[in-house]
Structures are given as structure tokens and as C-alpha cells.
Amino acid sequence: MTSPPLIEFKQVSKIYGHGEAAIRALDRVDLSIREHEFVAIMGPSGSGKSTAMNILGCLDVPSAGDYIFQGVSTQGFDRSQLTLLRRHMLGFVFQGFNLLPRTSALENVELPLIYRGTQASERHRKAKEALGLVGLSGREHHKTQELSGGQQQRVAIARAIVAEPSLLLADEPTGNLDTKTSVEIMDLMTRLNREQGITIVMVTHEPDIAAYAQRLLRFIDGKLETEAEHRGRADHVL
């Protein structure tokens, strides 16, 4: 039997403002992503891709429709419930790395486990393992300012996966990196998806970066193009 989707949007809309000033950032979007997929999201500025990402990450909630996570509707979740979902089920990678300055790689990676109340010895062990997975064994005690941009993003990825989330959300993960380093980071993310089975949803504006994903979702004016419509232009887009 086919397993149910890991995450689903069912007729999700997001409206900002009221009356004539209202902006419909998402317009009745349906989507589903299965466990172990690597999905890229693209679209021009104002297309709704960032709004979709915020809802996927439980940083925002739909104005209408339902976001379903592992078969459970999040409709009606309060702030504390959304926080718990983020803390225990989601990992985040950002364009700007968002690492604590003057803090070691190991300490940065341990942060999600501190929020979970994990004991110190277990935190150290898991953080070292995560840094090993991203190719930073031996650099555990390097401070943030002692690391290159690519190494900082590797630390950020290790921090995102250390708590073994069900879903990794990456927002322009190569936006601050040069071409060579971008390729290294995308090779790493591809390996984590294929070898570790991590489900990844990535927003990017770069077609060559989106090409690393198994599937591309394109937003236009708050709507999601169907895959059939997109596949007809796949060779041109990618």
C-alpha cells in the first residue's frame, strides 16, 4: 500500500489585510509531499512561495483550508502546539546561517537539543555525530567566525538535523554562497536525502539549485501550478 503523505495542504489560502487592501498570498492551494522526497519550490517575488514555506514551518497559519502533518490536522492548533511541532518535527536551514557568534560549532548544533531538555552527554554525542555527517569532524570547537561560509552552512545543516526531524525546510540555502560552495552544499543535502532518508523542502530562485530536487513545485500569483503543467516546460525551466 502507498503510504499517506507526510504533509498536505488542502485548499490552503492566506490573506493579509482586509477589504480592498486585502492581499491573497495563497489561493486555495492543494499539495502533498511524501516521506523521503526532496522537493524544490520556485516562483517570482510575490508568488506565494515564502508564505507557503512559513505555513509548512508552522511560523504562520492558513486563513482558510487545512495543513495536515503526518495525518493530523493542524487546524485549531494554538501557539504552544505549533511551537512543539516545530521543536520536535521540523528542522530549518536559512540563507543567512543564523548561527550564534563567538560560539563553537558544537554548541550551535546542540541548541535544538537544549530546547528539548536533552542531557549534556547525549547532546555532545548527537552534535558530534551530526557534524560528522556534514563533513566537519575535527572542527567541533571552531568558533563561528573561524569558519568559511560553506562551513557555517554545514554547521547550520547539522543543527537542523541533530534532533532527527521528520521534515527539513531550507530557505535559499545557497543564497549567500559562491558557485563552488553551493555545489558542495547541494551535494551534501542530496546525500542526506538519499542516504539518511531526510525529507527536504527547499525554496530557491535558482534553476540550477532546484535541479537537485526530485520534484519542482512552482507558485504563480498565489496558486500552485500542477505538475502536468510544469513538466511540459521542465527542460526549458531547468
CATH number of the structural domain spanning residue 200: 3.40.50.300
Task: Write the DSSP string, the chain.
Answer: -PPPPSEEEEEEEEEES-GGG-EEEEEEEEEEE-TT-EEEEE--TTSSHHHHHHHHTTSS--SEEEEEETTEE-TT--HHHHHHHHHHHEEEEETT--PPTTSBHHHHHHHHHHHHT--HHHHHHHHHHHHHHTT-TT-TT-BGGGS-HHHHHHHHHHHHHTT--SEEEEESTTTTS-HHHHHHHHHHHHHHHHHH--EEEEE-S-HHHHTTSSEEEEEETTEEPPHHHHHTTHHHH-
Q: How do residues 92-108 score in pLDDT, each as one tens digit?
A: 999 888 899 889 999 99
Domain-embedded: residue 176: yes
Look at residue 192 and tell me if it is in a domain. yes
The per-residue pLDDT for range 46-61, each reduced to its tens digit, is 999 999 999 999 999 9
Number of domain units in the chain: 1
* pLDDT value of residue 10: 97
- The predicted model scores a pTM of 0.89
Q: What percent of the chain has pLDDT over 70?
A: 94
Examine residue 1 and state whether it is found in any structural domain, yes or no. no
pLDDT band at 146 (very low <50, low <70, confident <90, very high): very high
In a domain, 2, yes or no: no
Q: Model confidence at 227, in pLDDT bands (50, 70, 90)? A: low
Does 142 have pLDDT greater than 70?
yes
Asked if the model's pLDDT at residue 200 lies above 60, the reply is yes
Range of 45's domain?
7-235
Mean pLDDT, rounded, of the chain: 91
